[in-house]
């Protein structure tokens, strides 16, 4: 009998975890025929069917269940070898990172730079999205590391708490004369996208402190929010770390209405199973970079 390969084992595990060939092909960046061929070759090698193929999808046979248990042990052993034996400079492959826009505009470039220093041959794929979508992408194994508003309360996910981001209120540097001044909270309030935790929390606070007639302008682009404030379209409550540059350039200014939402809490989250030394290392590096960024921001 020929020996099976690492690629065949990874493909088999991916098909099982993703629930089919199509999703496995997308996760592995392969064509569906290539994934099918790997599974067929593995079955031919073992002399048995691993999947029961029916209209209802692919379900493991009894032999497939047995192989799954061994394959997971084999995968764990490979991770231990990569962690303890392989020189980081020789590590190849792909690391898929999903990050919120706040992180992307702050310290994500520094994280990528650090990862390239440790793993020069590693291919890094970035996806910037809202936290709700990043959570689903991580649980669906479409990203390996999610840096998002967390933590993710799932038994299968490990979360590393990152330094938070203080929020501040902003208005135009030279707002037009109006009743209430530039910091009038009855004006449109620019903030995070509608399907995010910061939007929901801000909406509840505005209803409580200003009233139900408050006008909110949610946006997936924080840069657009700052530009709208600069143009005196409205006010905004956004991360101080991102607003500092605009304030220094005297394009906008902070104001104090007497209250501000709680700081944004981010986590570096990754799946605990299957264990991935690469994801763990990237999450630990994310914490180091975030702490250095926070220390620098505090010094400003």
Per-residue pLDDT of the chain (300 residues; tens, 9 = 90+): 456 677 888 888 888 888 888 888 887 878 899 888 888 888 888 888 888 887 667 888 898 888 888 888 777 766 665 555 444 554 457 789 999 999 999 999 999 999 989 888 888 899 999 899 999 999 988 899 999 998 999 988 999 999 999 999 999 998 776 554 556 788 899 999 888 889 999 999 999 988 888 889 999 889 999 999 999 999 999 999 999 999 999 999 999 999 999 999 999 999 987 778 889 999 999 999 999 999 886 544
SS3 content of the chain, % helix, strand, coil (to 5): 45, 20, 30
**pLDDT of res. 199:** 92
Token pair, residue 227, equals 């530009």
DSSP sequence for 9-36 = HHHHHHHHHHTSHHHHHHHHT--HHHHH
**pLDDT of res. 288:** 96
Q: pTM here? A: 0.72
State which fold the 89-164+265-299 domain adopts: D-Maltodextrin-Binding Protein; domain 2 (3.40.190)
DSSP H helices, the chain, are 6-18, 21-28, 32-46, 62-84, 101-106, 108-118, 131-139, 197-209, 222-230, 240-248, 277-299
State which fold the 6-84 domain adopts: Arc Repressor Mutant, subunit A (1.10.10)
Quick check: do 89-164+265-299 and 167-255 share a fold? yes
Which residue do the tokens 């994934």 mark?
35
**pLDDT of res. 184:** 77
Q: Where are the chain's structural domains?
A: 6-84, 89-164+265-299, 167-255
**pLDDT of res. 162:** 97
Beta bridge partners of 236: 170, 190
* Spatial distance between the Cα atoms of 58 and 43, rounded to a whole number of angstroms: 14
Tell me the CATH architecture of domain 167-255.
3-Layer(aba) Sandwich (3.40)
| Distances in whole angstroms, Cα of residue 144 to Cα of each of 97, 99, 127, 191, 239 | 6, 11, 11, 28, 26
* Spatial distance between the Cα atoms of 290 and 238, rounded to a whole number of angstroms: 18
Give the number of residues written for the chain. 300
Beta bridge partners of 57: 54
**pLDDT of res. 178:** 56
If one counts every other C-beta atom within 10 angstroms of the C-beta of residue 156, the result is: 11
């Amino acid at each position: 009998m020929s020996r099976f390969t690492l690629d065949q084992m990874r493909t088999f595990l991916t098909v099982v975890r993703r629930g089919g060939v199509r999703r496995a092909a997308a996760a592995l960046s392969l064509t569906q025929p290539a994934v099918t061929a790997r599974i067929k070759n593995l079955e031919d090698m073992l002399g048995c069917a691993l999947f029961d193929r029916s209209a209802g999808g692919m379900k493991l046979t009894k032999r497939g269940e047995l192989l799954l248990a061994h394959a997971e042990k084999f995968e764990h052993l490979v991770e231990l070898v990569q962690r303890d034996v392989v020189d980081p400079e020789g590590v190849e492959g792909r690391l898929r990172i999903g990050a919120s826009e706040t992180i992307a505009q702050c310290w994500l470039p520094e994280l990528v730079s650090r990862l390239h220093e440790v793993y020069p041959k590693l291919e890094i794929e970035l996806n910037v999205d809202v936290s709700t979508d990043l959570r689903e992408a991580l649980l669906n194994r479409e990203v390996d590391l999610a840096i998002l508003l967390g933590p993710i309360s799932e038994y299968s996910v490990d979360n590393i708490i990152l330094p938070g981001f203080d929020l501040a209120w902003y208005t135009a540097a030279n707002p037009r004369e109006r009743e209430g001044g530039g910091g009038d909270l009855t004006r449109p309030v620019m903030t995070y996208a509608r399907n995010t935790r910061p939007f929901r929390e801000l909406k509840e606070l505005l209803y409580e402190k200003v009233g139900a007639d408050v006008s909110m302008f949610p946006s997936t682009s924080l840069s657009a929010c700052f530009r709208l404030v600069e143009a005196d379209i409205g006010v905004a409550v956004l991360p101080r770390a991102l607003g500092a540059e605009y304030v220094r350039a005297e394009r906008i200014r902070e104001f104090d209405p007497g209250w501000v939402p709680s700081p944004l809490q981010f986590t570096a989250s990754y799946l605990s199973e299957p264990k991935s030394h690469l994801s763990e290392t990237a999450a630990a590096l994310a914490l180091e970079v975030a702490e250095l960024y926070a220390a620098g921001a505090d010094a400003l």
